[in-house]
Amino acid sequence: LAKTTQPISMDSYEGQEVNITCSHNNIATNDYITWYQQFPSQGPRFIIQGYKTKVTNEVASLFIPADRKSSTLSLPRVSLSDTAVYYCLVKNSGNTPLVFGKGTRLSVIA
Amino acid sequence: GAVVSQHPSWVICKSGTSVKIECRSLDFQATTMFWYRQFPKQSLMLMATSNEGSKATYEQGVEKDKFLINHASLTLSTLTVTSAHPEDSSFYICGLEGRVNGYTFGSGTRLTVV
């Protein structure tokens, strides 16, 4: 499994765009990149997933460069309710478990 | 994605007793479910993979006789913490891989052993 590295914590003011970058230098050809959000005392919640280039949904965008050795989760105009831990994971297809790294603790300040 | 229901959301038990946690897939037949444990301010740690109709696969360092997993149907997996001790107090989370949008997780169970 490719190991991921992401900042331990980040702070942001409300209304700003937040970009969290994740390194996954050993990503394999069959791997895809997925991001989860976790609030205290809750299970992780899926945010976005991608293989290459750019993916956008109603809550976030995911930017993946051509070499796929890193990815950036972009949260537009964060609010206080976006304060959470964000996990970047690399996973191949197949029914195998997700292995979580330390995640990035995002604190949004008013 | 799949809908996962986990019960109870919290439980307090006396040291030495056993506690059962249920994880139900409400709209998806899950042949495989995963159990995680999370201590405060730490990440999720995979405990075991639960396989329908067969024995669970435990991660290194997880005692299979202490954390009994039963996956008797395609919609239900249970984790029983046997002879619980205060050090077993933690947040337990189940998850499964659905058809779309990757993995879905239960809301977690906060276990406190006193």
Tell me: the pLDDT tens digits for B32-88?
899 999 999 999 999 999 988 889 999 999 999 999 999 988 899 999 999 999 999
B31 chain-A contacts, CB cut-off 8 A = 95
- A71–chain B nearest CA distance, Å: 17
Contact A45 B105 (CB under 8 A): yes
The span from the CA of A55 to the CA of A33, in Å, is: 11
Q: Report, in angstroms and rounded to the nearest whole number, the Rg of chain A calculated over CA atoms.
A: 13
A23's CB contacts (< 8 A; 6+ apart) are A4, A5, A6, A69, A70
- Does residue A95 belong to the interface with chain B, where contact is any CB pair within 8 Å? yes
- Residue A110's alpha-carbon distances to A10, A19, A40, A60, A86, in angstroms, are 14, 18, 19, 20, 19
User: With an 8 Å Cβ cutoff, is A87 touching chain B?
Assistant: yes
What tokens does A77 get? 């105009």
- Please write the tens of the pLDDT for every residue from A37-72: 999 999 999 999 999 999 999 999 999 999 999 999
A31 by DSSP, 3-state: which? strand
